[in-house]
Amino acid sequence: MFAEDGAFAAAIPGYRPRQSQRDMACAVAGAIEANGSLIVEAGTGTGKTYAYLVPAMLWGGKVIVSTGTKNLQDQLFLRDIPAVRGALNVPVTVALLKGRSNYVCHYHLERASQNGRLASRQDAANLREINRFLKTTRSGDKAELSSVPENAPVWQLVTSTRDNCLGSDCAYYKDCFVMQARKEAQQADVVVVNHHLFFADVMLKDTGMAELLPAANTIIFDEAHQLPDTATLFFGQTLSTNQIIELARDTVAEGLSQARDVADWAAVAAPVERAARDLRLVFRQDGARLSVTQIEADADMGRQFGETLEALRSALSDFAAVLETQAERAETIEQCHRRAVAICTQLEAWIAPDKAPAEAESVRWVEVFSSAVQLHLTPLSIAGIFSKQRAGVPRAWVFTSATLSVKGNFTHYAAQLGLDREASMTLPSPFDYGRQGLLYVPRDLPQPQSPQFTDAVVDAALPLIEASGGRAFLLCTTLRAVERAADRLRDEFESRGWEMPLLVQGQASRTELLDRFRELGNAVLVGSQSFWEGVDVRGDALSLVIIDKLPFAPPDDPVLAARMEVLQKKGLSPFAVHQLPHAIIALKQGAGRLIRSESDRGVLMICDVRLVEKAYGKQIWQSLPPFRRSRERTTAVEFLRRVRHASKAGEAGSATPSSDTLSEAVGE
């Protein structure tokens, strides 16, 4: 299949055989045959998607492929799988399954259309678009309707949730897009899902995968570096004040519709909604993540929090009691009653976790947003829980990503998920990083905790941005740094007369910003975590990636603080065992944005002097791709100038820059 004269070479223009790709395919085939587990770190450019799809399709049986994002799901389903299936010429059926919030719901669309109360004219226009879309779509997948933004508020009104779905009692049950997608997935040989969907089903049995999982003989996790965080999210519990307010509003709507005569529904729901809002008012700032211990350390906040939480529990209990007396009036009111009982149970478990059975030691913490509060109960380790989920039916489990190890060591990753680190392999990228890229760490920068740090990063980056003619990512570790860096760059571009478009996270969706970045060809994009991974910009549009700090998680993060305490009690170093490997894997993701193909060239600029001044710095840069390294600004600037010159020559009809020409820039 992978040979120079094999199926791919014949079917796919420009296909190149890669030894790493063949090695990975053989390893995946071995895992499938033995119903074993396999961890594969495959460097960028390995072609890992084809490497796991070929054995998965040829070995038969049911295969579930889980990806990191919905965008990757669409790419697999629409592009990669059809290409492999065509090359192999095998009669494999494929289905795409997303969470229910991605499918238009006939019932909720009808209700929103009849209700007529929308927040804006734009919402009304979007609703008309969705109604037209309903008449032509076969899947009901909102990704097909590009004219309505994915984050448009109206989508919440026309899609269902696990809480408000009527199930088989719905008048539109036979036409339901969610049910159709699940049915197709049950019948398909290969099913493409995402990690959130996979774990939502494992925990909630709500995605239609309850029927899929037992039948699957192979489960493949692509972008598997995201699994520990995603699994932790779902193996824990989260209750949001938004959930409670939504329940109150749904109850008023259904009560007025189905049982107007028996109660003043607005008065019934008001105490619940008020108590939920009061809980948010306890906290003075948004964007905060606080453990219960941190909240209680502030006597005034701790007292208010305890009193408000108790008021919410009491209001919810009374609310559920009223709904129980009216539940027989209509299925929709019965559903609201079930939701109220479930929320009461969840809140009780959060207030008194010692009374609820738990599979692992957990930490209670609160996340504060501008208009909501989330109560989290998070396990400190998911290894035991995930191992239990994998036990039972023999099947193959494959975990793959470009970033899973620390210098080829999988101890940290395997320990997080309870996997055997011996069943692992690292495959090198086919890219010539030593010739294609340069790692530059500037001299004379302040320490990352300095108030002047972000300004210093911008000052150090400007000569390189000029040399590259824009074509740069500036990746920050905090949103505050994004805002400051964007303000500085905007002022500098204007004062220097540089005509480089500046794109900033938050101006538009990530997809829109990336599309504009590629089209413009000389833009500078400033972003935080969401741009560190899953971003693929090939060619001349990107030749400079600037990373402000090493991505260590903030030490006051409630979950991290609790995990560090547990490691300390065991006599282990939290920094060496958890914080450092976690930061290395995250940094490798950010660094991976630079070189995406054999012809890409560029500079990776890391502005954190700890990379060269701290003893652990060597472990970090040795885990990165083997770029040439320099601390001299002139070297980095000259490298970028040559890349830009070669790019312009290429546009004029010349060949792309040769490795020899570029290597002169770093003094070879």
Q: Using the predicted structure, report yes or no on whether residue 24 has a pLDDT greater than 80.
A: yes
Confidence of residue 167 (pLDDT cuts 50, 70, 90): confident
The predicted structure's pLDDT at residue 639? 96
pLDDT tens by residue, 172-218:
999 999 999 989 998 999 999 999 988 887 665 555 556 667 788 99
CA 545, CA 517: separation in Å to the nearest integer? 13
pLDDT tens by residue, 383-428:
998 898 888 789 999 999 999 999 999 999 999 999 998 899 999 9
The predicted structure's pLDDT at residue 667? 31
- Supply φ then ψ for residue 71, to 5 degrees: -60, -45
Domains, the chain, in order of start with CATH, read 7-92+189-222+392-427 (3.40.50.300), 100-177 (no CATH), 235-379 (1.10.275), 433-666 (3.40.50.300)
State both tokens at 604: 């990776």
pLDDT tens by residue, 35-64:
999 999 999 989 999 999 999 999 978 999
CA 533, CA 593: separation in Å to the nearest integer? 7
Of 245-249, 540-544, 633-637, 643-647, the one with minimum mean pLDDT is: 643-647
Average pLDDT over the chain reads 90
Residue 667 region, left (φ>0) first, then alpha (ψ -120 to 50), else beta?
Answer: left
pLDDT tens by residue, 109-165:
998 898 777 778 899 999 999 999 999 999 999 989 988 888 788 998 999 987 788
pLDDT tens by residue, 87-123:
999 999 999 999 888 999 999 999 889 877 777 889 9
Q: From start to end of 380-528, where are the E strands?
A: 396-401, 424-427, 437-440, 472-475, 502-504, 524-527
Confidence of residue 659 (pLDDT cuts 50, 70, 90): very low
CA 279, CA 312: separation in Å to the nearest integer? 8
pLDDT-above-90 percentage for the chain = 69
CA angle centred on 135, ends 134 and 140, rounded to 5°: 35
pLDDT-above-70 percentage for the chain = 95
The predicted structure's pLDDT at residue 205? 56
CA 255, CA 265: separation in Å to the nearest integer? 6
State both tokens at 277: 């809002």
